[in-house]
């Protein structure tokens, strides 16, 4: 007989409380409107739960009441609450899946269904380490929030509120061909190794890893010099790691639109186009970033032939190297 808890018991274990409320009971206990509760539930990324299913805990009720009870101000209204909830839901969904995948991958082939022993160990780890990991998640969030707040406060004057940043892409060379030569587990490890290398470099230099796209990462930095250092350092770190193919790096400097943790705008598009133009192991930058670095003795800029970039017209790329 299996010593695994049934799905309901596992859910109660991870939620930290007994499943005792239907959705209508939870809404009534929280003292909120049904419309708001259902919109919040969707914003967090959860599917509809039939009204007669007991699926909610005291923790759910407290969370619902807490969000609804946030004092309205000139900034925090109901729509802001829902947008904040959506940010939390999407981030936590990825985090939870990532953490479960790490545990399962450590014990079995990711393409195979986990066996009973794997499920037992994952469950035991959840029970043992959940209380230890929860404070770390809160602390990391506070640290990231503090860093984001510090960047915001560093902007002084109307002109600086128009966000200018260095943005860059690092793209694995010949990834499609490489993926054909590896099995799925080897490919997953290659991507993870590349992302780990790039994220460590970005963090070390004080930039921000905006997102990972499998064979590509997008990063940003507040200054042109920091962006240049990150781009060159990523290429160097990958070159020194025999387990990762070369990368191409493309970077640009100019106005960007930060939105929902991402960055948008012509500067981002330009960096992306430059990445596709770069030779393996090299970094290309746009005229804006080149102008910012022109008087910096640490770098050498070589102007190359102007190129046509789709949607952007003719652009002037520069090869960036250390002196």
Retrieve residue 299's tokens.
């770098």
- Give the chain's length: 323
Mean pLDDT of the region 88-96: 84
Distance of CA 278 to the CA centre of its chain: 25
- Please state which of the ranges 72-81, 94-103, 116-125, 227-236 shows the lowest mean pLDDT: 116-125
Q: Measured between alpha carbons, how far is 317 from 278 in angstroms, rounded to an integer?
A: 9
Are 208 and 221 contacting, i.e. CB atoms less than 8 angstroms apart?
yes
Q: Which of 209, 232, 231 is nearest to 220 (CA)?
A: 209
The percent helix, strand, coil of the chain (3-state, each to 5) is 50, 15, 30
Q: Taking the CA atoms of 75, 76, 81 and 87 in sequence, report the sign of the dihedral they define.
A: positive
Are 51 and 23 contacting, i.e. CB atoms less than 8 angstroms apart?
yes
Burial class of 23 by CB neighbour count within 10 A (0 to 12, 13 to 18, 19+):
buried
- Please state which of the ranges 72-86, 145-159, 245-259, 298-312 shows the lowest mean pLDDT: 145-159
Q: Measured between alpha carbons, how far is 17 from 305 in angstroms, rounded to an integer?
A: 64
Q: Measured between alpha carbons, how far is 295 from 306 in angstroms, rounded to an integer?
A: 22
Q: Please state the pTM of the whole predicted model.
A: 0.69
Which residues are paired to 264 by β-bridges? 257
Q: What is the pLDDT of residues 136-167, one digit of tens each?
A: 888 988 988 887 777 666 655 434 444 889 99
Angle separating helix axes 34-43 and 23-30, nearest 10 degrees = 110
> Which pLDDT band holds residue 231 (cuts at 50, 70, 90)?
very high
> Which pLDDT band holds residue 4 (cuts at 50, 70, 90)?
low
Alpha-carbon distances of 212 from 89, 98, 142, 173, rounded to whole Å: 18, 13, 22, 15
Q: Give percent of the chain with pLDDT exceeding 90.
A: 42
Alpha-carbon distances of 82 from 24, 43, 149, rounded to whole Å: 20, 6, 21
Are 167 and 271 contacting, i.e. CB atoms less than 8 angstroms apart?
yes
Q: Measured between alpha carbons, how far is 64 from 66 in angstroms, rounded to an integer?
A: 5
Cβ count within 10 A of residue 290: 24
Q: What is the pLDDT of residues 30-67, one digit of tens each?
A: 999 999 999 898 888 888 889 999 999 999 999 999 98
Retrieve residue 291's tokens.
């102008």
Mean pLDDT of the region 274-282: 94
**Phi and psi torsions of 114, nearest 5°:** -65, 140
Q: Give percent of the chain with pLDDT exceeding 70.
A: 85
Which residues are paired to 164 by β-bridges? 255
Q: What is the pLDDT of residues 113-122, one digit of tens each?
A: 666 676 677 6
Which residues are paired to 303 by β-bridges? 318
Q: What is the pLDDT of residues 161-188, one digit of tens each?
A: 448 899 999 999 887 777 787 777 788 7
């Amino acid at each position: 007989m299996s010593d695994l808890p049934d799905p309901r018991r596992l859910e109660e274990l991870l939620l930290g409380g007994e499943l005792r409320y239907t959705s209508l009971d939870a809404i009534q206990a929280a003292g909120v409107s049904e419309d708001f509760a259902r919109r919040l539930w969707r914003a967090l990324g959860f599917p509809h739960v039939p009204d007669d299913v007991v699926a909610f805990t005291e923790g759910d009720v407290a969370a619902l009441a807490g969000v609804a009870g946030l004092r309205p101000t000139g900034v925090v209204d109901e729509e802001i609450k829902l947008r904040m909830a959506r940010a939390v839901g999407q981030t936590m969904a990825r985090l939870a899946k990532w953490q479960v995948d790490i545990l399962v991958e450590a014990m079995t082939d990711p393409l195979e269904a986990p066996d009973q022993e794997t499920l037992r160990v994952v469950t035991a780890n959840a029970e043992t380490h959940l209380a230890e990991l929860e404070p770390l998640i809160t602390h990391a969030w506070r640290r990231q929030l503090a860093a984001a707040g510090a960047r915001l406060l560093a902007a002084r004057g109307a002109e600086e509120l128009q966000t200018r940043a260095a943005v860059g892409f690092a793209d694995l060379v010949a990834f499609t061909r490489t993926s054909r030569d590896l099995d799925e587990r080897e490919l997953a490890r290659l991507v993870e190794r590349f992302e780990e290398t790039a994220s460590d470099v970005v963090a070390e230099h004080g930039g921000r890893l905006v997102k990972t796209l499998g064979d590509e990462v997008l990063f940003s930095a507040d200054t042109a010099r920091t962006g240049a250092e990150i781009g060159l350092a990523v290429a160097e770190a990958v070159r020194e790691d025999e387990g990762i193919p070369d990368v191409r790096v493309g970077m640009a400097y100019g106005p960007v639109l930060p939105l929902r943790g991402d960055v948008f705008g012509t500067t981002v598009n330009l960096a992306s186009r430059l990445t596709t133009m770069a030779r393996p192991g090299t970094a290309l930058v746009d005229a804006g970033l080149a102008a910012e670095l022109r008087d910096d003795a640490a770098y050498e800029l070589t102007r190359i032939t102007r190129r046509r970039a789709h949607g952007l017209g003719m652009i002037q790329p520069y090869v960036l190297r250390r002196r």
